[in-house]
């Protein structure tokens, strides 16, 4: 009887034991920013450590030629539109083929405006979210070659904990469980909720999970316990 009770106690401890995990503080969002075309950098509106807002123009290439081409295409479209509207009012004077040809030219002119606008939009980097510039790899006057190296790197102000724990607990750890950071302050432990558990193993053959709600510097690391729920 005592053996059975002991087995039950051991099984209970195993089933409801907390899970040891390490953590690293990372930015909630990170972005490597580049332009999708080549050109000479004419303006950089930020620097390493600067706070930027979503939608802010961070970097611009020399776009004088692209702006000129866009203006020319807009003027050409306005001219054709005026001509088309005048001809359409006097449709009985002009044959249908002439009007159809003008309509086709008008459509081509409008498509050219769209194309030139797209080219112009590729000449700058716009912040996809608010955050801090963590890296800058180019200066004004440099040539952007559209290579793999990011011209700017942006990290969000919001942070997350990237947890790593033994894969044998794959079925035990779930979103909604709490992670408590080990601290010297036993009376004031920080515990945060896990909101994501990765299904695949990382390079170290461990499982990862994410939690947020901490006020720690990016790059900090440590360990703690995952408090398993029911």
pLDDT surpasses 50 at 12: no
Same domain, 77 and 25: no
Of the three residues 122, 137, 168, the one that is the final residue of a domain is 122
Give the residue, 89 or 49, on which the prediction is more confident. 49
- Report the mean per-residue pLDDT for the chain: 86
Q: Which percentage of the chain shows pLDDT scores above 70?
A: 86
pLDDT tens per residue, range 40-54: 999 999 999 999 999
Same domain, 117 and 73: yes
Q: What mean pLDDT comes out for the span 47-75?
A: 96
Q: List the one residue out of 122, 117, 121, 153 whose CA is nearest residue 137.
A: 153
Residue 208 lies in a domain: yes
pLDDT surpasses 50 at 183: yes
CATH code: domain of residue 171:
2.40.30.170
* pLDDT score, position 5: 41
Same domain, 162 and 223: yes
Same domain, 176 and 221: yes
The two tokens of residue 172 are 């035990």
pLDDT tens per residue, range 145-179: 766 689 999 999 999 999 999 999 988 999 989 99
**Which residues span the domain enclosing 111?**
63-122
Same domain, 163 and 117: no
């Amino acid at each position: 009887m005592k053996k059975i009770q002991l087995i039950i106690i051991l099984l209970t401890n195993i089933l409801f034991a907390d899970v040891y995990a390490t953590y690293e503080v990372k930015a909630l969002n990170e972005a490597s920013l580049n332009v999708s075309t080549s050109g000479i950098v004419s303006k950089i509106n930020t620097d390493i450590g600067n706070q930027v807002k979503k939608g802010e123009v961070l970097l611009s290439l020399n776009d004088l030629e692209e702006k000129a081409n866009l203006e020319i295409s807009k003027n050409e479209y306005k001219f054709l539109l005026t001509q088309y509207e005048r001809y359409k009012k006097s449709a009985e004077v002009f044959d249908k083929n002439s009007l159809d040809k003008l309509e086709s030219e008008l459509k081509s002119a409008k498509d050219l405006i769209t194309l030139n606008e797209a080219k112009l939009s590729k000449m700058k980097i716009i912040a996809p979210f608010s955050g801090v510039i963590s890296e800058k790899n180019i200066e004004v006057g440099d040539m952007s070659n559209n290579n793999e190296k990011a011209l700017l790197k942006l990290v969000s102000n919001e942070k997350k904990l990237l947890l790593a724990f033994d894969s044998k607990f794959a079925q035990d750890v779930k979103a909604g469980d709490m992670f408590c950071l080990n601290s010297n302050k036993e009376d004031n432990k920080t515990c945060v909720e896990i909101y994501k558990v990765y299904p695949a193993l990382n390079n170290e053959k461990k499982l990862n999970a994410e939690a947020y709600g901490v006020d720690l510097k990016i790059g900090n690391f440590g360990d703690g316990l995952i408090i398993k729920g029911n």
